[in-house]
Structure 1
């Protein structure tokens, strides 16, 4: 893969394309059991890419059982009612295939890649692990220990550690405030029966999305999926989607100082609530964020890294999820320059509001986004993922084809409008992770400071 840093100069010189991206026509059908099938041909390689999306994810973890969805994902391939973990692994290795299961906040995704000649065998294996997982107790216990080790490792990864704290402080008791991995205290309460119950409740064909991209036609894809997945049935009626009390937007500047006495640097995260993926400001926000902190050549990175030499990197992003995610600005710096780095971030936000943006900045951001998207949808596995996400989020069916035109249509006025609407200036959650005793005196006058210990992991 070509590093994005090397691509940036090329992308800056590209003229934004207003043309519609030419992709093969999508075939979609709702199967008799309710499974939503979406197919795109990809004839460049003799491969098939499959993305099966199960709505739910960790947002459905019961209180006190945080980490349950992630354990379901980890153990799903570790045994079925017909094969044990070794047999499943050996089948995948023998075919030279890949099969992964991952849990997120909003869904569990099962991804597979294999040769087209192995279509029947791999689809059958996929159906087996989805429909008939055994959740062997010994595999559940092993997975719990692995996740506990992952959580313990986060203590030594400050950039991930501060993310857990920031999410908890911003979202509170909302599911987005709970880590997908769970807490150490919650993992020990999860049983094999919990995994089986979660699977029964959420793994339903009438709510699932199956995207197939590869060297096969639509008729073959539909026939094979219908045949192999026909026995998949959901238990009982579809449950209504859960409704969670919305998290409250941070008002004023709230500084939370997380004490990590052995830290060699200060991690900084600043932000507030953002928007959901369905927000109509999505495309203007992409452009605005790219020029502010979403690319190597952004204002934020240029000022903090190049001009002030306070850090090797600074960034901003929006979490586009089913519900409102976060707007985030992040960087890291030496303990003694914490105050200076924080002031630079706050000043860059203020300058964004005060001075607006230039035509050149907007054009560069749009060129960058258009180039990135072209790279993003070229590999077949990326197309399968994008196809599944389009239907998971309820986006227009021509989303991939019309993306360049939507980006090009963003105006300076659009960018400045969303800056004033979605880039907080005075209402900010500021989380600092580092040597609290050395950091606190320098930031007391910037806002209300709350000192905290590390979260219970």
Structure 2
């Protein structure tokens, strides 16, 4: 959900691209007089500021029977605030060449702001109202509800969405992770203005906010800004969701769907982001299924056998559970073979680790690509927030590559044996797969 002025997109894109690439950045830790913390990378060469706010909790905070409330609430933050209705709010943002984006995930509500230095005060006043004084007008609620329901209906006909929902439901059950953040047609229809007000107070609170800023703004200016923007929010929100155990058994779950190509998600328990072995697991996954055409899964499933256009794996360290997942799609008469090959490669790496050549190649790619992430104020501000939420120190940006370089073959083999679990590798397949049954 985004508010962007007519000419803001090209303008912001130009400013973002004009910012220099920086392999090393100077991060300042800022605290407002009211006690709100933030990280800042000051860059005065371009009159532009990127501000990222992230509230821990997200859609997992939905109360029982109110699934989809946090998602709908966030979608309405741009639909009128303070004295401005939805149209007036959008027109005001356009006149200021300001961009605001509101988004929800399982574990956070994210608010992104992009504005020119000369319009900073007016842009922040508008953002303040969106965060603190959303209107939740009934006409806007009805309009955004219709958009959400349309998306839910579309997802119900999309094999990629279906397979994700089936896997989540299988693994997480009644936990909020087990259902879509959008809710269901029925749950969304029943949400009221009072539900949205409650979701707003529960999710947007000072005890769970993380802030990153980059661009033409000083530490003193940011400190003042933080209190102006956030001091009116509740001190505390609703309690965070409980942790959930991931327990899977090896096997296949088939969801019949009339399509010529089957889609599959596979996986089992993963590894937490704060686990001492996470870095090693990250490199291991790059070799197994995260590194494009050089990854083992791509080599064995696509290059050697032509069973798919793409197959990949990825670590998913959520706040309340950790998964190790992968995806693949293949023709109905070939998906069974693709699954067999994936199982074999999962087992081989669990038992044998990787080669020195594979490890060196992964290190070269991962360390070389890292500086390219810092390619503009917006991405830098986003990285700063992510680092804080992962409880990483400011010096992480300079020590991260050294941590990767220090990983040995023995480290990979040990962690592979620990986190790769062929005996728990579960496949959920949507389609009409030949030779596969639940």
Q: 2:240 aligns with which of 242, 255, 277?
A: 242
Q: Give the structure 2 partner of residue 123 of structure 1.
A: 124
Deviation string 1:291-341 (CA, Å, 9 cap, x unpaired) is 100021211011111111000000000112212232112111000112111
Q: What is the CA RMSD across the aligned residues, in angstroms?
A: 1.9
May I ask how many residue pairs the two structures share in their alignment? 416
2-side partners of 1:420 and 1:44: how far apart?
Answer: 49
Cα pair 1:67 1:187 within 8 Å, conserved: yes
Q: Quick check: 2:351–2:416 contact (8 Å CA) kept in 1?
A: no
1:443 equivalent in structure 2: 436
Question: How many angstroms apart in 1 are the aligned matches of 2:146 and 2:266?
Answer: 33
Query: Are 1:26 and 2:28 matched, yes or no?
Result: yes
Contact kept? 2:241, 2:320, Cα under 8 Å? no
Cα distance change on mapping 1:222 and 1:146 into 2, 3 Å = same
In 2, the alpha carbon distance for the partners of 1:231 and 1:312 equals 50
Equivalent in 308, 313, 332 of residue 310 of structure 2:
313
The CA distance in 2 between the partners of 1:52 and 1:137, in whole Å, is 27
Listed as ranges, the matches of 1:176-325 within 5 Å are 176-226=177-227, 228-229=228-229, 231-234=231-234, 238=236, 241-244=239-242, 246-250=244-248, 252-260=249-257, 262-296=258-292, 297-325=294-322
* 1:348 maps to 2:349: no
CA 1:276/1:104 → structure 2, altered by over 3 Å: closer, same or farther?
A: same
> In the TM superposition, what whole-angstrom CA distance separates every residue of 1:143-178 from its partner, at most 9, and x where no partner exists?
111011112112343222211111111111222112
More deviation, 188-197/155-164 = 155-164
What are the superposed Cα offsets for residues 54-113 of structure 1, whole Å, 9 maximum, x if unpaired? 122111111222111111110011111321111111122122221100001111000011
**Structure 2: how far apart are the matches of 1:388 and 1:26?**
13
Q: Do the aligned partners of residues 31 and 182 (structure 1) sit closer, same or farther apart at CA in structure 2, a change above 3 Å counting?
A: farther
Give the 3-state SS of the residue equivalent to 1:112 in structure 2.
strand
Deviation digits for residues 7-52 of structure 1 (CA, Å, limit 9, x no counterpart): xxxxxxxxxxxxx9521132321441x4322221124432100101
Q: Is the 8 A contact 1:322 1:393 kept in 2?
A: no
Residues 46 and 104 (structure 1 numbering): CA distance in 2 closer, same or farther, change over 3 Å? same
* TM-fit CA distance, 1:427: 1.1
- Are the equivalent residues in 1 in contact too, given 2:263–2:330 (CA < 8 A)? yes
Q: Tell me if structure 1 keeps the 8 A contact 2:351–2:417.
A: no
Does the Cα contact within 8 Å between 1:265 and 1:434 map onto a contact in 2?
A: yes
Q: Distance in 2 between matches of 1:28 and 1:241?
A: 26
Paired residue secondary structure (2:128):
helix
State whether residues 246 and 323 of structure 2, in contact with CA within 8 Å, keep that contact through their aligned partners in structure 1: no
Q: Who is 1:6 aligned against?
A: none
Q: Which residue of 2 aligns with 1:414?
A: 411
Aligned to 1:255, the other structure's residue is in SS state: strand
Once residues 68 and 42 of structure 2 are traced to their aligned partners in structure 1, the CA distance between those partners, rounded to angstroms, is 36
Q: Give the 3 Å change call, closer, same or farther, for CA 184–112 of structure 1 in structure 2.
A: same
Q: Which runs of 5+ in 2 are unaligned?
A: 1-21
Return the offset for 1:201: 2.3
Q: In 1, distance between residues paired with 2:99 and 2:300?
A: 42
> Hey, what's the Cα distance between the residues in 1 that align with 2:347 and 2:115?
50
Q: Identify unmatched segments of 5+ residues in structure 1.
A: 1-19, 450-457
| TM-score (normalised: structure 1) | 0.87
TM-score, normalising length from structure 2? 0.90
Q: Could you report, residue by residue, the CA deviation over 1:235-281 in whole angstroms, capped at 9, with x for unpaired residues?
A: 6xx3574352523411x323211010x21101111111212322222
2 CA distance for matches of 1:198 and 1:95? Answer: 29
Please state whether the residue corresponding to 2:103 is helix, strand or coil: strand
Q: Which SS does the other structure have where 1:100 is aligned?
A: strand
User: Could you say if the C-alpha distance between residues 317 and 137 of structure 1 is closer, same or farther in structure 2, counting changes exceeding 3 Å?
Assistant: same
User: SS state of the match for residue 208, structure 2?
Assistant: coil
Structure 2 counterpart SS, 1:257: strand
- Equivalent position of 1:110 in the other structure: 111
Deviations 1:116-153 (A, max 9, x none): 11111111111111111111111111111101111211
Distance in 2, Cα, partners of 1:183 & 1:278? 33
Q: Give the Cα separation in 1 of the matches to 2:230 and 2:157.
A: 47
Kindly indicate whether the alpha-carbon contact (under 8 Å) linking 1:21 and 1:404 is maintained by their aligned counterparts in 2.
no
- Counterpart contact for 1:277–1:323, Cα < 8 Å: no
